Amino acid sequence: MIEKVIKLEKISLVDFLGAENQNINEVADAFPKSKIISRGDEIKIKGKTPEILRINDIVQALILHYHKYGKITVENVKRVIENKEHREEENLEEEILVYGTGGIKIKPTTVNQQKLTKAVRENDLVFAIGPAGTGKTYISVALAVQALKNKDIKKIIITRPAVEAGENLGFLPGDLTEKIDPYLKPVYDALFEMIPGEKLNYYRDNGIIEIAPLAYMRGRTLNNAFILLDEAQNTTPMQIKMFLTRMGPNSKAIITGDHSQIDLPKNQKSGLVESLHILNGVEGIQFVFFDENDVVRHPLVRRIIKAYQQSDQ
């Protein structure tokens, strides 16, 4: 047997190796005849030359992926082992969507975020479906801001169902925007990262970025707009149908949702779930599915989502 040592430089070991070294263990499981040991910032490989060369190629590909996206998931490891990850990423153009406040680069950081970006380029209506923390809303907002900055559209319309208020917002204090704002906090958090506060206020005051409660959209035709429906799992079938038929010329729409977190009454069917079946295969519509491997929050969130998925199954 021979030995090769790979040094992990400028790499967060937790993000690269995974919790309890699960990423490197995945590689080890794929090559049982070789021995792979992770100690500190070094990975030692012991085995026969052909396997060592293959394992080295895999680890180097993972290092490149880490420096490109900032983390490694078990799914990334599996794809690299199967030689899929490199091919997928070659076919998906990496790009900076917008430069946020402070000059931060906002871009897709997982394969499914890239798929969402590509899907929006090629389709006027895209569903982004998956658990919390996968960046589906964040990337959707970035795509809308990019389209506005590029003057591809004239306005951004953001809406979501206010389930907790029963869509009857009249009893809440403030004007229309103030009534719906609490339900759109995640979207605003994203907007403030991408547009300076003064400019964002200008856009809102002049209707360039519009907050439109879902219940107030009936009867409208939305032209030259980028429309984002967030938390769509909490729409009824009639609500989502109404939303889908608002699109006018030169408009794009992204519908985001998580069908594992439906807050509707138990006897009420989710419009998002129903639309998955009705619209599957319709030309011009694409579905992008996210999973726990796309989670960009605390690593524990990924494990929580996986545990709940296993419990549901």
- Complete edge-to-edge strand list for the sheet that includes strand 155-159: 209-211, 155-159, 225-229, 252-257, 125-129, 285-289
Per-residue pLDDT, averaged over 202-221, amounts to 86
Q: Taking residues 173-185, what's their average pLDDT?
A: 62
Q: Provide, rounded to the nearest whole percent, the portion of the chain with pLDDT above 90.
A: 35
Determine the Cα–Cα distance for residues 307 and 60; give it in Å rounded to an integer. 30
Helix (H, G, I), strand (E, B) or coil at 36: strand
Asked if 127 and 275 touch (Cβ cutoff 8 Å), the reply is yes
Q: Indicate the DSSP class of residue 222.
A: B
State the chain's mean pLDDT as an integer: 83
Domains of the chain, by residue range, sit at 2-89, 93-312
28-32, 53-57, 87-91, 307-311: which has the minimum mean pLDDT? 87-91
Architecture of domain 93-312: 3-Layer(aba) Sandwich (3.40)
Q: Percent of the chain at pLDDT above 70?
A: 86
271 pLDDT higher than 50: yes
Q: In the predicted model, is pLDDT for residue 63 greater than 60?
A: yes
pLDDT value at residue 221 = 85
For residue 66, the model assigns a pLDDT of 83
Residues 82, 58: Cα–Cα separation, whole Å: 10
Q: What's the whole-model pTM score?
A: 0.65
Amino acid identity at 90: E
Indicate the DSSP class of residue 247.
Answer: B
Chain-centroid distance, C-alpha 70 = 15
Contact criterion met (CB below 8 Å) for 26 and 12: no
Q: What is the CATH number of domain 2-89?
A: 3.30.1370.10
